[in-house]
Amino acid sequence: MLRALIVVDVQKDFCEGGSVPVKGGADRAAAIAELLRRSGGQYAFVVATRDHHIDPGSHFSENPDFQDSFPVHCVVGSEGGEFHPDFVPAVDSGQVDEVVFKGAHSASKSGFEGFTQDGTTLADWLKARDVTDLDIVGIATDHCVKATAMDGVRAGFAVRVLLDYTAGVALDTTQAAVDELRRAGVALSGAPVVVA
């Protein structure tokens, strides 16, 4: 059994001060960096996903519904698309083995829709390294974390979401996401973090 940690979208635009801010996002960025510092080799690999938009069509809207359409965010080359500064040291110190970019020309909530810089999908990257189990953390619980976890199950991985290391947009949608994940066979640890 080889376990990887998937860190979903810990980017400036999804944290306080960003264009689609999730309350508690910055705090979770720091917590995830701490999780990596003291993980003591329990993860064979760590992969971070990034929302990485060029022209994602109706995913961007001036009148967003915050379900399928959102204000402009995580545009390629923009500051908002960068990793949150509290997570950057984990990347710069080499604790993150690979970065997966998603959403260039469409909405892509799941990390499994993304590609590494050399064009490998997340599932292929993990399977080439004999990874069987995934722990998933990041932002937002009720959007990209949920979508990534659901796709992880579909791709044949044993998936666990570490809820203490996620941030949700709203209580009702986060609770619905947790229920959906549980029904799909995703293991859950901790309690969902939703900052009112």
Catalytic residue among 13, 74, 102, 142: 102
Q: Please identify which of the residues 51, 144, 146, 151 carries the catalytic annotation.
A: 144
Least separation in angstroms between residue 136's CB and Zn ion is 17
Provide φ and ψ at 80, rounded to 5°: -65, -20
Backbone phi and psi for residue 135, each to the nearest 5 degrees, phi listed first: -105, 135
Query: Has 146 been annotated as catalytic?
Result: no
Q: How far, in whole angstroms, is CA 124 from its chain's centroid?
A: 18
Contact pattern for Zn ion over residues 46 through 75, marking x by CB under 5 A: -----x------------------------
Residues touching Zn ion, count (CB under 5 A): 1
- Please enumerate in sequence order all residues whose Cβ is within 8 A of that of 128, keeping only pairs 6 or more positions apart, or say none: 120
Least gap, CB of 137 to Zn ion (angstroms): 18
Active site residue 127: no
In this structure, are residues 11 and 140 in contact, taking their beta carbons and an 8 Å threshold? no
Which string of DSSP letters, residue by residue, matches 8-46?
E--BGGGSTTSSS--TTHHHHHHHHHHHHHT-TT--SEE
Examine residue 142 and tell whether it contacts Zn ion (CB under 5 A): no
For 21, the token pair is: 């801010």
CB of 102 to Zn ion, least distance (A): 8
Q: Which residue shows structure tokens 């949700």?
A: 168
Q: Report the Cα 41 to chain-centroid distance in Å.
A: 21
Residue 113 makes contact with Zn ion by CB under 5 A = no
Catalytic residue status for 102: yes
Q: Which is nearer to Zn ion, 51 or 86 (CB)?
A: 51
**Pick 58 or 93: Cβ nearer Zn ion:** 58
Contact status: 13 vs Zn ion (CB under 5 A): no
Q: Which residues bind Zn ion (CB under 5 A)?
A: 51
**Catalytic residue annotation:** 9, 102, 144
